[in-house]
Every structure is written in C-alpha cells, then in structure tokens.
Structure 1
Amino acid sequence: MDRITAHYFIETPYQVAKAAMILAGEQSSGTFVETPGETPALKQRFGARIENIELLESVNQPAIPGPKLSFDKYHRALVSISWSVENFGYNLPVLISTLQGNLYEITQFTGLKLMDIDFPASYVSNFQGPRFGIKGTRNLMGVASVSPMIGTIIKPSIGMDVATTASIVKTLLEAGIDFIKDDELMGSAANSPFDQRVDAIMKVIRTHADRTGKKVMYAFNISAEVDAMQRNYDKIVEQGGTCAMVSINSVGLAAVKKICDRGELAIHGHRNGWGMLNRHPLLGIEFKAYQKIWRLAGVDQIHVNGIKNKFWEADESVVRSIASCLDPLGKGMDVLPVVSSGQWGGQAFETYQKTKTTDLLYMAGGGIMAHPAGPTGGVRAIKQAWQAAIDGWDIQRTAEKYTEFAQSVEKFGKG
C-alpha cells in the first residue's frame, strides 16, 4: 500500500532513535507495553516506520516542560515517519489523530512540531479538494490574473447594525473593491442577525452588479453548529452570494469538509487561533503541513498573515506560507493565499518583491476603512500601490504620483 510520510522537528533528552521508535509505536500498533495481539505480521502491515533521522544541535534547557526528571542535554532532530494508508484510509480526522494525536503528550519529547506531510498522488486524487481555488475565485470576482484581488473586512468587527453595514458595503462597491468579508467575530449578533444581514448586503451587491457588471464577492461568516452552518449556507445561495467564510479551527475538520463538499460557494478559510497551533517553535504544526490538510478538505482561500503584520509572525514565515499555498498538491488543488493583518498599501512593494506573485487576496481592514479619504481613498491607495509595485516603482515615487497613496503614507507609514 501507499504510505504517507510526516516530517517532525523534535527535542528529546533520550537517544533520538529510541524516542522516534516510541513515537512510531505509540501512533500505530504499539503502546507502553508489549501486548499479545501485536504480532510481527501485524506490525509489518500496520506499524509506523522511521524513514529518516537528521541530528541537529543539543541544548541545556528543554523547549517545553516534559519529563519528570531533569537531564543535562536535550537533543534536537528532524525525524520522518511513515504510515500505510491502510491505517486510516481516506478519513481525514483519523489521519490527523495519527499524525497529530497523542504524540504531543509522549513523555520522551520536550518539543515536537509537525513540519510537513508527503501525500502520494493516489491519496490526493481521492479528494475533491478546492472547488474554486485561485482561478475560480478570480472568475467569480472578475479580476484579471495580472492583478491581486483587493479585499477588506467590515470594521468595527462587531456592533454595527444591518443598515449601517449595508451602507458601508455600498461605499466599498463604488470604490472598486473586489472582496469584502465579515469579521470572524461576527456571526449572528443581537443587532445584526445573519439572515437580515445577508438580505441587506446581497441586495446592494446585486444592484451594483446589475449596473456595472461586476459582482463583488462577500464572505459571510457561517461558522456555527453544523446544522446552522448548512442553513446559513443555503441563505447565501438563495440570495445569489458567491462565498462563505468558516473559522476552520473553531468549526473543525469534518464540519469544514462537509461544507466544502457542497461545492456551490467558494469557501474562505479563516485560521483564527493559528498562534495557539504554531507560535512556539517546537510545538504544534508548521503552515506548510497545515494548509495541505485544509486543501484536502476543500478550502478555496486561506489566511497567511502579511508582511509587517500586527501580529507576532516574522515576514520570512509569511513568505514561506504564501509559497506553500502556490506549491502544487494535486491537479486542481490550488488554494488562494489571503494576505491580511495590519495591511495597507505600503506593504505591497515588499510583498511583491519577496513573492513575485499576484495570486493573492490582499486584505486591508483599517488600512481601507480608516483612510483619511474614507474607504474610497483606501481602496484606491492599495490599487495604486500594487500597480506601482508590479511596475517596479518604490514608495516615494508612488506617493509623489498618487494623492490617495500619499495620504496612506502620511497616516499609516510613520511607524
């Protein structure tokens, strides 16, 4: 049978090979003691296999609390372990329980992070994957491939009523925005019930589309219990919407896949809670592995943070995340990287310089909504910045040329 290989960055006070054997056993046929049913034939067929060990440095202090005893040295290594597809089949929750389950709790490790996953082509082909991805999202928005897609988030995140939100959407449409989304904090609030918000916003979007021919994509946050998500999804379809947003970490893998499998709407995957999974260098999961799992589930768009973002993530990590989204996984399995977090036009130059791609959804909340000339000026400023970045201009030349971008520099560029 085909095998799936997971690559881990580990830290252990024990011999690395022994710790790796314990991980492989614990996550397949073994346990803390030999059992009568664990025959050589069973282990041969279902046991995990150590494929490679690359020893790294040793340190004096553990990365995270672990063994009850103290040790002089903690050894770090890159370890690759494989499992037969027979162990879990095409069941993603069981796959994740295998690759990311109790292994984080094994005493022998004082650090463990899933860095990447290698899937055989035959395994990937059993999943539908993203129904829209980059090309489909562009088609739904009507944005040419030479430009990034420009989007924003409704701000304040929560608290505005339906009529006020619809009025802001109208302003953004007239400014030339490509994409708008609910904040992840907005589900069905007391003064903004989900159904009423969809009705009001889609009326504005349909009117604008009838007049201009451009149907802006709005990602309504459908995150909820599964039955409620299905009803929310139906409401968007009924009103002619094109996108639903799901907080993927909050909702869970199986629920996200069920929604993606419907295939009528593009699915915007918001990764809020990501820092809990990734922020520690020796705990959790690296984005390269993370996005592959959500691609298999069928997410069309996924957040990657942004250059000079307002959070903790380094620019180099963001660039790697964008590149991983654009790496082929399977035929038609591309996923659109969503650049966000404290973005305004000023970061467009470095983003393009470091990634050399316009296959991005470039999101600015405050960078558009808080522009000195209002949302219209904010949208124009970001489009000016991106065109200048593609043309090889720098920030100073762009500010001299465009009033709206110059206003952005004045307000957002001081720091």
Structure 2
Amino acid sequence: MVAVASERIHASYWLETGDDPAHAAEVIAGEQSSGTFLKLANETPELKERSGARVERLEVIDTSTAPSLPGGMAGSTYTRCQLELSWPLENLGPSLTNLMATVAGNLFELRQVSGLRITDLKLPPAFAAAYPGPAFGITGTRRLSGVAQGPLIGTIIKPSVGLSPEQTAEQVRLLIDGGIDFIKDDELQADGPHCPFDERVRAVMRVVNDGAEALGRKPMVAFNITGDLDQMRHRHDLVLELGGTCVMASLNAIGLVGLIELRRHSSLPIHGHRAGWGWLSRCPALGWDYGPWQQIQRLAGADHLHVNGLANKFSEPDDSVIAAARAVLKPMFDGAPMAAMPVFSSGQTGKQAPGTFAALGTADLIHAAGGGIFGHPGGVAAGVTAFRQAWDAAMAGTPLQDHAVKHAELRQALEFW
C-alpha cells in the first residue's frame, strides 16, 4: 500500500528533561527523523516539512530537583511533560521493525532526556493492510478448545522444569481428567536433554488425543517452541502433525522478526509470553507502557498475550494489570479489530476470579493457575474443579464462601488458597 501524505504515526511519551522542554522536544523530533546534532544544508525547510517529525503536543506536568536517570544534561530543575510526536508514514512505510527504531530508538539516549517512557501509539490503517494480526484470537481459541463461554481454565505444568516427558504427560493426564481447558509449558521449559521437545510433545499429545475422546473436546496445550526460526518451524510442524492446537513463544526472546515469521508459517494459535517485560517497564521513568507495546505484538501475530494477574507475585499493581487486559481486548482499527485473548497468570488462584471478572467485565480470557491447581489437597483434578467453581461463582455474582457451601472442592481450596 502506498502511503499518502496525510497518514502519520503518532507516539506519546512521558518526558523528563533538564533542558528547556520545547528545545528538548525539538531535539528528539530531529534525532528521530531528518535532523542531526548540527544544522546541515541538505535539511531544507521543504525536506523538513515533508520528512521531519512534528511536536504535536507538549504539556508540562511538574518539576523535580533531581534527574530520574543518570548521564543526562545537568540542571537545577528537571521538567516533566507529556509529549506527542508524529512522523509521516512515508519515512518508513508500514514496517513494524522500522517503527520500533523510529518511536523507540536513540531518543532514550539523548543528553536532553533524563526520563522517557512510551505511553501511547496510534498507527495509520496501512499497518493493518501490511500485517494480518492474530490468525485465531478469541473466536479461534474458543473454537479449537471447545469452550464457547466463560474463561478458559488453564494451568502451567509444575514443576516448571525437571520433569521427564513421561512425567509431564502424566501431569497432563491428571489435568485432563479434571476437565482442564488450557495447559502451557513454562517459558523455562524448552528442549533440554532431560526433557527433549519432540519426546515431550509426542508423550503429551498421546494423552491429549486420548483425553479428547472422553471429554468430547480437545484441551489446548501451548508447547513452548521458542528458538531460532528453523527450530520454531520444525517444532510448530510437529505439534500440528500430532494434533496439537497451540504453540507458545517468548516474545522478547524471539523478537519482532521471529514473531512475524512465525505468524506467516503458523497454522496454530500463537501464545505470546512476555517474559522479560520487567526490564522494559518496571522503571517508571524509562521504557514502555503495556498498551503501545501490545499493539505491536498483536499486529505481528500474537493470539494470546500475558497481562500478569491480580494480587500477583510480581511488582505490578492491580490497576495496571486490568489496563493491560483491556488494551489487549481493545479494537485497533476500524474493520480490523485484531482482538487477542488476555492471559492472567502469576500466583493465581480462584480467589482472584471475582475481582478479575468484575474489573474486566468479560470472561474472554485465559486464567492460568499453577500452584493454585496443583496444590489442592484433594489432588489435581479437584484443583481444576475448584478453580472452575470459583469462576462459576464470579460470573453469577455469588460470593465464593456462599458457593463453597455446596461445592466441596471449592470449600477445600479456600482453606489453602
């Protein structure tokens, strides 16, 4: 698709600077488009008008007497602002990899910057034409898993590593006997000599295919295929050949090109794990908000995206978790919504079900509990049942304690959750 002059890319930032904010904004805009550290004759007014980044908005928020990040321009006052920049699409075309270099490139390193965080991203429709986005999303995931409504009750194989292929398959058998909807490898479980990928998939899929006959549906297993491109293609093809219905990749490990190429090759939903998200986000003065980051992952082809979970074991607060899930569900383009399925995990139990449903307002999600299922005193099957009972109560608006009166598995679970 040929870009037209009116099509522009917009990115918003939280900016802190020891420089005059207007000058800092212009330096950033120049660095990320047609300018450099000194004025060149070839950067004519006409060229700058055509190809330069624009400062669309600059609003001062407050000031600080100390910089958030080291190595910046020294000053007695550091001004914090909301900054919005835009670029003509014709600078780069609808290219996700070059988009990253444009909106998240050298601007973080400028001396004028003592803090910078990407807070929003608005892309022209040309990106929707260039990238198909999730192939399955919510609708395809529900169809393949046989779960028409409610959340997909999920889990992570525990222990995360250390089990043999046969031991892993036995854990899967127990989960299927309990009526599980979704199972995933831990992101640490790859292709080690103690549990080779091919052997693990063959052992697990024997159990899954047998269990599907008894359940009348096939539980979805997200096998971790993270690797180089040839490895991921081979692993995907094996899962597909054996009747599997999902593959998983660690997005920050395989990178944008890895996800784009996996999407082109894949005939299965891609479960996108955000392992490493903390180094992109945890410093409030540096990195990314989840909203703009997940847009890029959805465009590249992720069908499921991790968003952490309420009352999680990590550092992320609940309001940030819900904002992340809402971002994953939010349409991106008119006529091409590219909806993905949010995945709640991290120290989850059925106790988080009521709050998750109330805050999100939908059950179009995967809720994965590891220890919250495997630790049930009645066994793994009882753990799956208790987790589902908690969600039944949440969607009905019934307090968990009231629902537990007539549901023994939930009653037992509440004592150890």
TM-score by structure 2 length?
0.96
CA contact under 8 A between 2:233 and 2:265: conserved in structure 1?
Answer: no
Matched residue type, 1:300: D
- Counterpart in 2 of 1:75? 79
Of 84, 99, 121, which residue of structure 2 is paired with 1:95? 99
SS in 2 for 1:307: coil
Of 266, 269, 272, which residue of structure 2 is paired with 1:266? 269
- The equivalences for 1:136-175 within 5 A come to 136-145=140-149, 147-175=150-178
Of 380, 383, 387, which residue of structure 1 is paired with 2:385? 380
Could you tell me the percent identity over the aligned residues?
46
Distance (whole Å) between structure 2 residues aligned to residue 388 and residue 78 of structure 1 = 42
Q: Which moved more, 1:359-368 or 1:209-218?
A: 209-218
Distance (whole Å) between structure 2 residues aligned to residue 135 and residue 406 of structure 1 = 33
- The equivalences for 1:354-369 within 5 A come to 354-369=359-374
- The equivalences for 1:45-194 within 5 A come to 45-67=50-72, 69=74, 71-145=75-149, 147-194=150-197
- Counterpart in 2 of 1:203? 206
Distance (whole Å) between structure 2 residues aligned to residue 108 and residue 348 of structure 1 = 45
Distance (whole Å) between structure 1 residues aligned to residue 42 and residue 413 of structure 2 = 68
Could you say what the CA RMSD is over the residues aligned between the two structures, in angstroms?
Answer: 1.1
CA contact under 8 A between 1:66 and 1:108: conserved in structure 2?
Answer: no
Q: Which moved more, 1:51-60 or 1:333-342?
A: 51-60
Distance (whole Å) between structure 2 residues aligned to residue 210 and residue 67 of structure 1 = 63
TM-superposed CA distance for 1:332, in Å, is 4.5
Q: Which moved more, 1:286-295 or 1:369-378?
A: 369-378
Consecutive unaligned residues of structure 2, counting only runs of 5 or more, are none
Moved over 4 A (4+): none
Distance (whole Å) between structure 2 residues aligned to residue 50 and residue 98 of structure 1 = 14
Matched residue type, 2:154: G
Consecutive unaligned residues of structure 1, counting only runs of 5 or more, are none
Please tell me whether residue 3 in structure 1 is matched to residue 11 in structure 2: no
Distance (whole Å) between structure 1 residues aligned to residue 278 and residue 31 of structure 2 = 27
Distance (whole Å) between structure 2 residues aligned to residue 401 and residue 79 of structure 1 = 55
TM-superposed CA distance for 1:79, in Å, is 0.5
- Counterpart in 2 of 1:220? 223
Cα distance change of structure 1 residues 213 and 396 upon mapping to structure 2, 3 Å threshold: closer
Please tell me whether residue 246 in structure 1 is matched to residue 249 in structure 2: yes
TM-superposed CA distance for 1:33, in Å, is 1.3
Count of aligned pairs: 410
- Counterpart in 2 of 1:256? 259
SS in 1 for 2:130: coil
Matched residue type, 2:124: P
Distance (whole Å) between structure 2 residues aligned to residue 136 and residue 17 of structure 1 = 48
CA contact under 8 A between 2:208 and 2:219: conserved in structure 1?
Answer: yes
TM-superposed CA distance for 1:238, in Å, is 1.3
